[in-house]
Amino acid sequence: MTENHALPLYVQTAERLIREINAGRLLDGERLPPERDMAQDLGISVGTLRKALADLTDKGMLDRVQGSGNYVRHSPDATSVYAFFRLELVDGGGLPTATILSVDRLEKPNDLPDFGASRYGFRIRRLRRLGGVPAAVEEIWLDGAAKDQLITEDLSESLYLYYRDQLGLWITRAEDSVGVGHVPDWAPEAFPAVPGSVCGYVERLSWAQTGDNIEYSRTWFDSDKVRHITRMK
Amino acid sequence: MTENHALPLYVQTAERLIREINAGRLLDGERLPPERDMAQDLGISVGTLRKALADLTDKGMLDRVQGSGNYVRHSPDATSVYAFFRLELVDGGGLPTATILSVDRLEKPNDLPDFGASRYGFRIRRLRRLGGVPAAVEEIWLDGAAKDQLITEDLSESLYLYYRDQLGLWITRAEDSVGVGHVPDWAPEAFPAVPGSVCGYVERLSWAQTGDNIEYSRTWFDSDKVRHITRMK
DNA sequence: AGGAATTTGTGCGTATGTATC
DNA sequence: AGATACATACGCACAAATTCC
């Protein structure tokens, strides 16, 4: 009995191309070789390659132009659903940055929803800024199974990039639940809203390409300055 | 010169199946015939049919189960982006209903964002319930160019169905902006939150399949009972 | 301007794998 | 275990859009 646990060839191919693009070996705007040539180089049929390319197109990482060619689109976050879920200043604009407040490995508290396989999780608390202005405080729970240790210095400004580059995980599905909350008591003084006061509140569950539900996060945002935006197509 | 203005066969096939489903000739949960049989009936190849079925799956109108069959899913709004943007009771469950409070044709006020072509718009105010419980009040602005007149009796519970069946428009893109607001002074007494008190707030811009930005809406929801949910894949 | 070459899009057929019944 | 049905993969022919000479 010859069991085949490998992913379908077109999925492997799509992921391979995504890695090439993310690693910068395929640049933004670059035109790929003709499909027939690519397929031959990869040792697969044109149809299989086309299915992989269609996947990338869906993800917004590729433009396919009949009669012309396939063109790479590599905007920094086009690969993530986070491109569609984000905080924005009411006035618009403002570069996002984040300061880590704390990182701890803890047993998951009971008030967290079920997510991930481990009893433990990493709790990351951050202060997020938009254009330098403190905009939100955030508590992220990363499932303990994702990594043994997590060192503050390792974490990049973008957790998405950290997941992808250090853990080999990327978020492909997310579910947001938005309402009104109260600023948590651990919010730093830099955050203008007083602990306990009313503010916007987002809960998010995120799933990686593996299908695992690896992350749960809560964000409290200053509703006077910030909006939570979603675009759907 | 014989120009061919027809859409691709797989698109025609997908649209044909969508019409069959919307017309109720294919019922929810119904299993389609095997792909080979269907393809033969339709006079097309299996590959072409599969492409059409994949389209329907993307749209959430079909479940494809290997080894079993293709199953129709006909939830009333599965075809709309509104399937992904919605209010839910914190406790879960609850059928959505809506009561029209007022319908007026007005000049668009200045505090509305730019949307649609007309100077005028229809303002629809509704009280929305979930499982009978008043959950939100809503003000919807439909661009005046969409219709000459709008009669309260014409409006169905689901504005989405009204747009689709009466106006020939369906929403294919939307952008939500969520924050904290204050209950408007026109909120009916049935709505439990007091006018002026703090509540959840959603602004939405919606685009039809024509590419036109036809609708702008504002929703104030009772944050104690209701959450605004978004799912993204 | 126009035609040839290139490149992706569409459509068909077939063989084999894998999940379900 | 066998039959059924969808999933994957390959290859080919022609159409349509673009590019280049």
Q: What is the CATH number of the domain that holds B33?
A: 1.10.10.10
Pairing of strands A69-72, B62-65: unpaired
Task: Enter the DSSP assignment of A177.
Answer: E
> Of A81, A176, A223, which is closest to B179 when you measure between CB atoms?
A223
Q: Looking at the structure, do residues B64 and B15 belong to the same domain, yes or no?
A: yes
- The SS3 assignment for A196 reads coil
Q: Looking at the structure, do residues A209 and A115 belong to the same domain, yes or no?
A: yes
**CB count in 10 Å sphere of residue B121:** 25
Scanning every residue of chain A, which has its alpha carbon at the shortest distance from the alpha carbon of B84? A232
Q: What is the pLDDT of residue A1?
A: 41
Pairing of strands A120-130, A69-72: unpaired
Scanning every residue of chain B, which has its alpha carbon at the shortest distance from the alpha carbon of A228? B178
Question: Residue A78: which pLDDT band, with cuts at 50, 70 and 90?
Answer: low
Question: Residue A5: which pLDDT band, with cuts at 50, 70 and 90?
Answer: low
Q: Which residue is nearest to nucleotide C12 (CA to C1')?
A: B45
The whole-angstrom distance between residue A177's C-alpha and the CA centroid of its chain comes to: 17
Q: Report the percentage of chain B scoring pLDDT > 90.
A: 63
Collect all residues of chain A within an 8 Å Cβ-Cβ radius of residue B85: 230, 232
Best-predicted range by mean pLDDT among A85-94, A143-152, B3-12, B34-43?
A: B34-43
Give domain status of residue A44, yes or no.
yes
- Nearest-CA distance from A153 to chain B in Å? 31
Give domain status of residue A26, yes or no.
yes
Q: Which of B72, B97, B130 is the last residue of a domain?
A: B72
B4 touches strand C (CB under 7 A): no
- Partners of B207 in beta bridges: B173, B213
Q: Looking at the structure, do residues B184 and B92 belong to the same domain, yes or no?
A: yes
Q: Do B232 and A198 touch (CB under 8 A)?
A: no
Collect all residues of chain A within an 8 Å Cβ-Cβ radius of residue B180: 180, 198-200, 223
Predicted TM-score (pTM) of this structure: 0.83
Q: Report the percentage of chain B scoring pLDDT > 70.
A: 96
Q: What is the extent of the structural domain holding B27?
A: 2-72
Q: Looking at the structure, do residues B106 and B177 belong to the same domain, yes or no?
A: yes
Q: Looking at the structure, do residues A111 and A174 belong to the same domain, yes or no?
A: yes
In this prediction, residues A60-75 reach a mean pLDDT of: 92
Q: Looking at the structure, do residues B62 and B100 belong to the same domain, yes or no?
A: no
- Top-confidence residue, A186 or B92: A186
Look up the CATH number of the domain holding residue B98. 3.40.1410.10
CB B45 within 8 A of CB B82: no
Q: Which of A72, A97, A127 is the last residue of a domain?
A: A72
Give domain status of residue B153, yes or no.
yes
- A174, exposed or middle or buried, with CB in 10 Å at 0-12, 13-18, 19+? buried
Q: What is the pLDDT of residue A79?
A: 66
Give domain status of residue A233, yes or no.
no
Structurally, chain B folds into a number of domains equal to 2
Pairing of strands A226-232, B171-182: antiparallel
Residue A117's identity, in one-letter code, is A
Question: Residue B151: which pLDDT band, with cuts at 50, 70 and 90?
Answer: confident
Q: Looking at the structure, do residues B109 and B65 belong to the same domain, yes or no?
A: no
Residue B209's identity, in one-letter code, is Q
- Partners of A105 in beta bridges: A122
In this prediction, residues A40-62 reach a mean pLDDT of: 94
Q: Looking at the structure, do residues A116 and A193 belong to the same domain, yes or no?
A: yes
CB A137 within 8 A of CB A187: yes
Q: Looking at the structure, do residues B194 and B126 belong to the same domain, yes or no?
A: yes
On the question of pLDDT at B2 being above 70, the answer is no
Q: Do B180 and A199 touch (CB under 8 A)?
A: yes
Q: Which of A38, A72, A106 is the last residue of a domain?
A: A72
What CA–CA distance (Å, rounded) separates B212 from A118? 47
A32 touches strand C (CB under 7 A): yes
Give domain status of residue B82, yes or no.
no
Q: A with B: how many residue pairs have Cβ under 8 Å apart?
A: 86
Q: How far is CA A210 from CA A93, A169, A172, A225, B207, in A?
A: 33, 8, 9, 36, 33
On the question of pLDDT at A150 being above 50, the answer is yes
CB B220 within 8 A of CB B137: yes
Q: For strand D, which nucleotides have at least one atom less than 7 Å from a protein CB?
A: 3-12, 15-19
What CA–CA distance (Å, rounded) separates A30 from A38? 14
- Nearest-CA distance from B143 to chain A in Å? 20
Q: Looking at the structure, do residues B68 and B100 belong to the same domain, yes or no?
A: no
Phi, psi of B70 (to 5 degrees): -105, 125
Q: Do A178 and B227 touch (CB under 8 A)?
A: yes
Q: Looking at the structure, do residues A102 and A213 belong to the same domain, yes or no?
A: yes
Q: Do A179 and B223 touch (CB under 8 A)?
A: yes
Task: Enter the DSSP assignment of B31.
Answer: B
Structure tokens at A137: 């405080």
Q: Looking at the structure, do residues A151 and A214 belong to the same domain, yes or no?
A: yes
Give domain status of residue A8, yes or no.
yes
Q: Which residue has the tokens 């797989």?
A: B10
Give domain status of residue B77, yes or no.
no
Give domain status of residue B133, yes or no.
yes
Phi, psi of A129 (to 5 degrees): -120, 150
